[in-house]
Amino acid sequence: MWKASHWQATRFTNKPSMNGCIGQASRAVGKFCKEKQDEIMVSPFYRILLIDDDSSTAQNIWEMLKDGQDCTFQMVRAESVQAGLPKLASEIDALLLGIRGSDGTGLARVPEIHAQFSSLPIIVLIPRDVEILGKQALEAGAAEYLVQETLNPGLLQKALRYATERKRAESAIRQCEERFRDLFENAKDILFTLDLEGRIVSRNKSAEEVMGWSKSEALQKNIKTLVAPEHLGLCNQMMRRIVQEEP
């Protein structure tokens, strides 16, 4: 998830066996992230909320979704944003929001929905003659916009799947990062994260307690100055391997 060429988390030691990365913590994060990735890949079921006050539009949308290609769509409908908000609190994977008229009725609610449900992909459906509303919707927080008159099953299903999987992936990454931070901060080992030159860019609680460095003091140090002189060559070798992404 985190390429070693960007930065590396290292256990502080003066021993020749300098392990390089966090060990059990990084393996736990890796397993957690792999499980999240597998969960995303085996989730061909999508729960869609359509907010649109036109029943014929709702029927057309359902006709396009009911026979999913390698996936299954479940659609629920609300006639207004106000009626749809309680439904968004349940397990909804994506929102289809119908925009009516040249004044973009409904568009003004996009920022509110996005702020309240930031992990929810919003796809707005706009009339062909006011396509400018689509760009405004993207600026307001929508993930995508589709022109109602050009909709077809393949296009609609692809847009919903792409927007949903992207949000799921982003959510999985955030969870992995939170998991890493938790393991990093609470590990009993003294741990640092380094830049490619070996400079310390962060340290965990154990490092702060044992080494007695403030954050500003730690950020002025380089890992190469903390290893025994006889192991400096090994340290440099490990840093080169990290930069070159070698195992």
* pLDDT reported for residue 152: 95
pTM value > 0.75: no
* pLDDT reported for residue 64: 95
Q: Are the beta carbons of 126 and 149 closer than 8 angstroms?
A: no
81: nearest Cα among 58, 50, 127, 103:
50
Q: Are the beta carbons of 100 and 129 closer than 8 angstroms?
A: no
pLDDT digits (tens, 9 = 90+) for 121-147: 999 999 888 888 889 999 999 999 999
Q: Per the structure block, which two tokens stand in for 58? A: 């709702």
Q: How many angstroms separate the CA atoms of 120 and 29, rounded?
A: 25
Amino acid at 108: A
* pLDDT reported for residue 61: 95
Name residues of the chain where pLDDT drops below 50: 1-25, 29, 40-42
Q: Are the beta carbons of 167 and 143 closer than 8 angstroms?
A: yes
Q: How many angstroms separate the CA atoms of 12 and 221, rounded?
A: 13
Q: Which residues contact 76 (CB under 8 A, 6 or more apart)?
A: 47, 48, 49, 50, 87, 92
**3-state secondary structure (DSSP) of residue 131:** coil
Tell me how far CA of residue 236 lies from CA of 66, 84, 240, 246, in angstroms.
59, 58, 6, 14
Starting at the edge strand that comes first in sequence, how are the strands of the sheet with 72-78 ordered? 72-78, 45-51, 94-98, 122-126, 144-147
* pLDDT reported for residue 15: 36
* pLDDT reported for residue 228: 86
